[in-house]
Structure 1
Amino acid sequence: MTQTTNVETILDRRQLRRKLTFWRVAALLVGVVALVALAGRFSGETAHLTPHIARIEISGVITGDRETLKLIKDVAKSKASALIVEISSPGGTVTGSEHIYDELRRAAEKKPVVAVVDSMAASGGYIVALGTDRIFADSNSLVGSIGVLFEFPNVSKLLDTIGIKVETIKSSPLKAAPNGFEPTSEAARAAIDSLVLDSYGWFKGVVKDRRHLSDSELAAVSDGRVFTARQGLPLKLVDAYGGEQEAVAWLESERGIAKGLPVREWKKPSAVSNFGIFSLAGQAAAVLGFPQAVDLASRVENAKAGAALDGLLAIWHVEAQH
């Protein structure tokens, strides 16, 4: 009995040591990644203390997150002589795009701000481009998609089919309407339509003002379609073909920016801050033999981003163009 107990004790101790080793190594890996990220951020901030041309990237779905807005504010207050905004986005929320537009206009009061369209600046992405002083785009980049939409799923027929009815008691007919659990009334549809048209009117007003369009010129570009930059140039949606090199040349020749300044990229805080720690932990766990942790961390991060996409949207849906 004693011999059996000793064997079990030894096995328990070995298992405990393995667990402790796992968590020590995991903590060490996360700590190393955090230190590397912080060191990189510190060195980047040091480089920003001398004159340069700043470059920030606006990509993916636009939500107007605090990190992006702060990044623009920091560039505006920095030693950067000018700002290049590289855009590759189908759009996002109307309010998020508006917030970035407003912040870019405030930055433009202090230094030149130029947009360089990579793959696309559509809908909310184009709102961001409108916040700059000049828009450059490759000839095949997509711009435009001037419009607003409001989407909601309606499962009322499905609920009828399976015999489920959602009862709602509310203070007035338009409270929480439309809700997707019942057929959309004409009054509810009209209320949402007024929201869409109001935001659409604001969007068109910004385009008309920033691109100096007549009513007829605005009507030609504001039906929701996207244009290539080749099409958009004569329509006044873009100012010139080109990318970063052409943008820098324009800043030097037209805005008096000193020649030869380096272009330095400004980035949002690393994944160490906020809830990006999930990504770091997932990578560390994968190194230790738990690859499924990467997928779990990715789901957490994606859920955070998706949760911010709500309300009126200024976004280009590729499938809707077919």
Structure 2
Amino acid sequence: MVVSLSLTLFQKKIPLRSRLALVRIEGPILDSRDIVEEVKEYARDHSIKAIILRIDSPGGAVAPSQEIYEEVKKATAAKKVVVSMGSIAASGGYYIAAPADMIIANPGTLTGSIGVIMEIPNIEGLMSKIGVTTEVIKSGKHKDMASAFRKMGVEERELLQGVMDNVHEQFIRAVAAGRKLKVEDVRLIADGRIFSGEQAKTQKLVDELGTLEDTVKKTAELVGISGEPDLVEKKEKASIMELLKSRFPKELTDIFPTLRIKFLYTP
């Protein structure tokens, strides 16, 4: 008991060096859980003086992008959050960067693409050719809206466009709030167009141009760390189960056509 107490007291006297955390967000944004948990953990860790988000993503699903955005915004209340953009940080990839304290992009980074997209396949012609028909039993006339097995009606298109316009407006407001810009100014460039990092700086969508190494140095300066900072990064687990899971869709909706709204840049 005495030994345990002595060790505890001794450990408390050991000063922890100031560290920076690096969170990598790569590929399509399909789920938010791991990123949210990682950002939350670093925000609570007093030995972590700032969080660097390395974003290399074309965007993805709306809800996960919004959840990451909110967690990044919360983290900025506890410590500095700085974004380093890789090859691409567009649409949802830009959305999650917007609330950070500073955004640094490479001159040739593809970013922006402030917009929303919904792609609905229509396989009615194919089904007809192979002699397959579908029978639908529904509780309301719009219950099978955006079905892949028939042509979309005018009223359905108007309803879906209304949803798209609303989500697009959410995107615009989120960027304006995160970047401290006027909503009207963001709306002028929120037509889905992409920018190079250099162009984005002119539009005030990013703050500075630089590499990941430049971002680490800049972040260290912002929080008063002199010399080479300790950089903390979680290592990805590569278990057999995770490798298998990565080869198969998580949900049946990844296989069959379904209704999805995405913050996604699709060249």
Structure 2 length as normaliser, TM-score?
0.85
Greater helix fraction, Structure 1 or Structure 2? 1
Checking the alignment, whether the CA contact within 8 Å between 2:102 and 2:207 is kept in structure 1 is yes
Q: Determine which of 247, 250, 263 is the counterpart of 1:314.
A: 263
Structure 2 unmatched runs, 5+? 1-15
Distance 2:250 2:229 in 1: 33
Segment drifting more, 162-171 vs 241-250: 241-250
Segment drifting more, 80-89 vs 60-69: 60-69
Q: 1:72 to 1:111 in 2, by over 3 A?
A: same
1:74 corresponds to 2:41: yes
Deviation per residue, 1:29-60 (Å, 9 max, x gap) = xxxxxxxxxxxxxxxxxxxx642011110000
Structure 1 unmatched runs, 5+? 1-48, 280-296
Segment drifting more, 173-182 vs 83-92: 173-182
Checking the alignment, whether the CA contact within 8 Å between 1:51 and 1:261 is kept in structure 2 is no
Aligned-residue Cα RMSD (Å) equals 2.1
Distance 2:36 2:183 in 1: 32
Distance 2:163 2:230 in 1: 41
2:241 aligned partner: 277
Amino acid at match of 2:263: A
Checking the alignment, whether the CA contact within 8 Å between 2:108 and 2:197 is kept in structure 1 is yes
1:301 aligned partner: 246
Shift of 1:217: 2.8
Size of the aligned set, in residue pairs, is 247
Shift of 1:131: 2.6
Shift of 1:157: 1.8
Checking the alignment, whether the CA contact within 8 Å between 1:122 and 1:145 is kept in structure 2 is yes
Distance 1:131 1:232 in 2: 16
1:124 aligned partner: 92
Deviation per residue, 1:222-241 (Å, 9 max, x gap) = 11011101111111111010
Q: 1:77 to 1:202 in 2, by over 3 A?
A: same
1:205 corresponds to 2:169: no
Segment drifting more, 136-145 vs 235-244: 235-244
Structure 1 length as normaliser, TM-score?
0.71
Shift of 1:216: 5.0
Q: 1:268 to 1:187 in 2, by over 3 A?
A: farther
Shift of 1:278: 5.6
Q: 1:307 to 1:96 in 2, by over 3 A?
A: farther
Shift of 1:147: 0.4
Distance 1:109 1:160 in 2: 57
Deviation per residue, 1:279-310 (Å, 9 max, x gap) = 3xxxxxxxxxxxxxxxxx4xx42323576867
1:110 corresponds to 2:62: no
Distance 1:117 1:263 in 2: 20
Which of 1 and 2 has greater Rg?
Answer: 1
Shift of 1:260: 2.4
Amino acid at match of 1:302: R
Distance 1:203 1:183 in 2: 29
Shift of 1:70: 0.9
Checking the alignment, whether the CA contact within 8 Å between 1:52 and 1:261 is kept in structure 2 is no
Which secondary structure does the structure 1 equivalent of 2:58 belong to?
A: strand
1:159 aligned partner: 127
